[in-house]
Structure 1
Amino acid sequence: MRSLLVVLGLLAAVAAQAAPFAWPQGQQAAVSLGYDDGLDSHLDHVVPALNQRGLKASFYVPINSPTLPRRQNDWRAAAVAGHELGNHSLFHACSSKPPGRDWVQPHRDLETTQPAQVQEQVIVANTWLQALDGQTCRTYTLPCLDRLASGQDYLGPLREHFVAFRAASALLADPATVDPYNVPVYSVEGWSGEQLIALVEQAAAAHALVAIVFHGVGGEYLDVSRSAHDALLDHLAQHKDRFWTDSFVHVMAYVRQKQGAR
């Protein structure tokens, strides 16, 4: 009898591992739309487009973004509408080392910044954002996905302050095994609506999490056209029974809860 119970337990474990990840309300995939750098196009076009379709997203606003002094009320309205104001640090400091990083200013270069400095800046950004939206739970996107300051990983002490990090580059994430503090994201600048829709359909086929990075929408830099962006939103809105489109903080809180249960 004991051996039979062991076998049944092993079979149940295998079945649980093989079963698709259970998203809320039986949806096939979670889609996290993230908009980096606090741009005017996010407030002018993206937030109204999301609100019109009943979709939620995350906006990663560095505290030195020019839109904050000019448009604080607009960012507050975005938060009231259910969108996450995510942490993107105080100054969007990045490493100057990779090719094409001539724009990195010397006083904001992670190659010469100590980990403790970055940690303090990120925590201060959390305090600033809480004063803006009143929220105490949020997520962090590493500027440029750079995790080293003066050659050292600065992320460890920041984990207690966040639900999750967007911290790596890949198309899809397996929600059953993904590390909440190393969630992959994918940047889609220049993509067409057809390509964006194909990406979320790929996620649905795998019952996966797809975290998409946008910068400019219809202008500014690293942009996606408004028509391509709207085509994706229309597809997600028309298929809410298949796609759970929500802020990254909500998606990752759910993933963490399910991982703990498994």
Structure 2
Amino acid sequence: MKSLLLTIVLISFSFLSPMGVTAQESEKVWNGHKCAVVLTYDDALNVHLDNVVPALDAADINGTFYVPCNALPLIERMDEWREIARNGHELGNHTIFHPCDGSLAGREWVSADQDLSTYSFFRLMEEIRVGNAMLKAIDGKEHRTFAYTCGDKSVEDSSFVEAISKWFPAARDVMFRIEHQDEVNPMEVGSFFVMNNTGEELIAQVEKARMEGGLLVFLFHGVGGEHALNVSLEAHNKLVEYLQTNKEYIWVAPLVEVADYF
């Protein structure tokens, strides 16, 4: 009888995790959800305020907007950026002048004044540090994430990733990968680069992340225009609608919140 009782107890515990969580619950590793999605938007465009924010707000979803501090839509519409930050959207650091390495192939469009290959390490660090101060003056916050401009992570032939890790809980990369909690490097979070994708294609990426139980970060520029790297407003909004409908399974939050979680 004792042997039978012991067997029943052991079988019962086999269905529990070490913390007493059922197998089904243990799959919900992202703040009680099966996967996480972060919507990020680069370069502080007018369409972000005019097209993106209304769609996100209507779906009760918050995103991350990576803001170069010299962007005219930021300077000319600062009160609106301050308002969206107040409403839960993240204003992320994207430097002041958005420098990119002009020495790389296909980078002929980089101006001499914004050529990262001519920057000193000190100059870039100051630009990022002052960018944080400028964003704090807008949203009153000290805690935010960073996005590498053009995905460049080196200056004067040295990586600056470790140097900025003391200022940010996470930084978004441009290399695509679905992240998993036991593998993610917070300072090089992968992302899906969106350009001319259909709504169905974007949703398919989310479904993949959901099946894998991972984190998917979308990288948008233009949404309905204003940038050569563009996606239609229809495709964007179809994704947003899908995320809203599936909130039970998909955690959608700004990168700063997800980074604090993992």
Aligned partner of 2:199 in structure 1 is 193
Aligned partner of 2:42 in structure 1 is 36
- Superposed, 1:165-184 pairs within 5 Å as 165-184=171-190
Write the distance in 2 (CA, Å) between the matches of 1:154 and 1:214: 24
Aligned partner of 1:49 in structure 2 is 55
- Superposed, 1:106-255 pairs within 5 Å as 106-221=112-227, 222-255=229-262
| TM-score normalised by L of structure 2 | 0.88
- Asked if the contact 1:32–1:210 (Cα under 8 Å) also holds between the matched residues in 2, the reply is yes
Write the distance in 1 (CA, Å) between the matches of 2:65 and 2:59: 17
Aligned partner of 2:81 in structure 1 is 75
| Aligned-residue offset at 1:21 | 6.2
Q: Percent identity?
A: 37
- 1:85-119: per-residue Cα shift (whole Å, max 9, x none)? 00000100000123321221112211111111111
Q: 3-state DSSP class of the match of 2:190? A: strand
Write the distance in 1 (CA, Å) between the matches of 2:47 and 2:103: 29
- Call closer, same or farther: CA 1:180–1:211 in 2, change over 3 Å: same
Write the distance in 1 (CA, Å) between the matches of 2:108 and 2:250: 39
Q: Report which stretch shifted further, 98-107 or 115-124.
A: 98-107
What 5-or-longer segments of structure 1 have no aligned partner?
1-10, 14-18, 256-262
| TM-score normalised by L of structure 1 | 0.88
- 1:28-66: per-residue Cα shift (whole Å, max 9, x none)? 110000000000100001011100000010000100111
What 5-or-longer segments of structure 2 have no aligned partner?
1-16, 20-25
- Asked if the contact 2:150–2:174 (Cα under 8 Å) also holds between the matched residues in 1, the reply is no
Q: Which structure has the larger Rg over C-alpha atoms?
A: 2
- 1:206-251: per-residue Cα shift (whole Å, max 9, x none)? 0100011000001022000000000000000001001111000001
